[in-house]
Chains A and B, each alone.
Chain A
Amino acid sequence: MKNTDTRREFLKTALKSMVVSSMTIGSIFTFLSPEEARAAVKNVRWGFLVDTNKCVGCGLCVKACKLENDVPYSDPITRTWVERYVVLNNGRLLIDSPNGGRDGYTSEVTTTRLVQESNLSAVATKFTTSTAITNKITPDEIANAFFVPKLCNQCDKPPCVQVCPVGATYQMENGIVLVDRSWCIGCGYCIQACPYGARFFNPVLHTAEKCTFCYHRLVKKMQPACVEACPFGARKIGNLMDPSDPVRKIILSEKVGVLKPAYGTKPQAFYIGLGKNVR
């Protein structure tokens, strides 16, 4: 008896509210002209491509970066650095980066202040930061050895930006993370937050400092200083939004890796030939 009434009522109100809500939603969506639509799509996203197979450890990228960006040359700080990985036949792994590789690798002896030594069979990792370890290795002990250039990954989800308490570090639409030097208070949270160790404290300006992909050069249609300096083509930069970009093509079609993907930072520096020991 009353049942049909309520059903009719229900269907009526349902229809009415559908009409009303579709009208309001329709007025929320605005139709973009093709130009507006194209402008709304991000059309520049800088990404980096490192080919570890090509790197010879000359360190000219580190030298160029420090001089281009006024990073104090003699201090052990740098925006980009080159690590040496020596894998021994017995499974030991020696990693070093004296002065960030600024002066190249001119000795087969791995000796530096920061050596990470891990015995893969014993699954024990030891960090030594203060004492210098000197490892003289004979050539027949070496299973493999290679160089890994590193720099800021300009992550899509940059943890360094999230932790800044004053809004001094930020990401631009093109993906590059910058530090506002006049606004940074030098608290160092961002330096702690970066899982890649890409940030450091600038002792002259007393602000946080990091790689900018040489943004000041990119806007002048120049390559970053490290990319231009590398004689071997181990470092490349490209616009990941541009379908004709050679770097984008390689990233889409070849086997590339990123550093520490488990952190969920979505790094945008891609590596060709990334060894499984690299971290």
Chain B
Amino acid sequence: MGSHVFRPLWVAIAVIILIFVVRYFMVPSDFGIQERGFTYGFHRKSDESEWAGIKAKYKGRDYCKSCHAEKYRSIMNSKHRIIQCENCHGPALNHPVNPPKLVIDRKRALCLRCHTYLPYPGSQRSRIEGIDPAKHNPGISCVECHNPHKPDLELAK
């Protein structure tokens, strides 16, 4: 056979070898078929531990308990005991080191998430004491009159 057959064949073989060389350097060694088989488990194994290593930002209210004991006690004895501190104050991150203070959100929108009255008969929503934001002291921050950590109506100013 003439060189017109072999020349392109050498090129093809060279390309295939190149692909294997590139693959050797590019593809991590732990890339392969894992527990869930080829269809669902073909991946780089170490990515799992990379995801697992991400730091949690929300810490839960037991974390706040030791330093803000008074706020904790107050809210746990109120109708707001079901609400986590970080829902209103944002994620703890590394507080009190960084950030040294958490957000204090005095906007009406925070309270209106739950307290805007919606006429939804089947929904649990209509069972929370609701107000009409346009009529209930518009323009004034809710926490001027209500204590978010102790929302008793007797204390409402």
Q: Which A residues contact B (CB, under 8 angstroms)? A: 53-60, 63-64, 67-68, 86, 103-108, 139, 142, 144-147, 157-158, 161-162, 167-173, 178, 180-183, 212, 214-217, 219-220, 222, 225, 228-229, 231-232
Query: B82 and A232: CB pair below 8 A?
Result: yes
Check if B113 sits within 8 Å of A162, measured CB to CB.
Answer: no
B150 at interface, CB cutoff 8 A: no
A145-B120, A169-B43 given; name 11 further pairs at CB < 8 Å: A58-B113, A64-B87, A108-B119, A145-B121, A162-B40, A171-B41, A178-B48, A216-B52, A217-B56, A225-B58, A229-B86
B residues engaging A (CB < 8 A)? 31, 34-36, 39-44, 47-48, 51-58, 60, 82-84, 86-87, 90-91, 109, 112-114, 116, 118-125, 128, 133
Q: Is the interface of A mostly helix, strand, loop or mixed?
A: loop
A-B pairs under 8 A by CB, number: 140
A-B contact pairs, 21 of them (CB 8 A): A55-B123, A55-B124, A67-B91, A68-B91, A103-B113, A104-B113, A105-B113, A105-B118, A107-B116, A144-B121, A145-B123, A168-B43, A171-B41, A173-B34, A178-B48, A214-B56, A216-B51, A219-B52, A225-B56, A231-B84, A231-B87
Give min CB distance, B34 to chain A, whole Å.
7
**Chain A residues, CB < 8 A from B119:** 108, 139, 142, 145
Question: Measured between C-beta atoms, what is the minimum distance from A164 to chain B in Å?
Answer: 8
Return B59 CB to nearest CB of chain A, in Å.
Answer: 9
Name the B residues within 8 Å of A146 (CB-CB).
120, 122-123
